[in-house]
Amino acid sequence: DAEVAEDFDTKDPVRLEEERISGAIKTDFILSAEIVVITLGTVADATLMQRVTVLVGIALLMTVGVYGLVAGIVKLDDLGLRLQRSASTLLRKLGMGLLQLAPRLMKTLSVVGTAAMFMVGGGILLHGWPALGHAVEAYTNTLGSLAAPLINAAAGAGVGVLAGAATVALVGGVQRLRR
């Protein structure tokens, strides 16, 4: 936390805001791609028109709902700052609370969002790799109904982490070769 606080103190606030927004956009792009893949898998047996209709509906819902929520979260500190300048003591206290909440919320969402992307991405890879996916499914069928979703999530996260590590190694290797 001291390193993060020091980094925060030495960086330009505009640059920090741009970095946060850039990170949110990258995360949302990956999340959107995962949602499109899941949606297409769900409606794979539907007619072309039904698939297009479902994808358009999901796209609208994602754009308005999720991205609107993300935009609100990213701008939460701006709202806190504005409220802190209010004449009302209650609004100033609310503003201070938002300013204290925003960094913690962003950090928490960053960790939770990364874990979720690994689980969802790994789950997509498991479904695309039938032998491994069926092995996990066969194992979870032997467990109780409470443990099965946890094992599926852990398997998806594990595959996602391995795929992510392989991707990072591959990209790093390519970058070293380019130099």
Q: Is residue 160 a contact partner of residue 121, using CB atoms and an 8 Å limit?
A: yes
Task: Give pTM, 2 decimals.
Answer: 0.60
Highest mean pLDDT among 17-21, 29-33, 152-156, 174-178: 174-178
- pLDDT reading at 38 higher than 90: no
pLDDT tens-digit series, residues 55-109 = 889 888 877 887 788 788 888 888 999 999 999 999 999 999 999 998 898 888 8
Query: What gap in Å lies between CA 23 and CA 31, rounded to an integer?
Result: 12
What is d(CA 102, CA 78) in angstroms, rounded to the nearest whole number? 10
Share of the chain above pLDDT 70, in %: 93
Q: Of 24-33, 36-45, 132-141, which gets the smallest average pLDDT?
A: 24-33
Phi/psi of residue 114, nearest 5 degrees: -65, -45
pLDDT recorded at residue 1:
45
Q: Using CA atoms, how far apart are residues 174 and 179, in angstroms rounded to an integer? A: 9
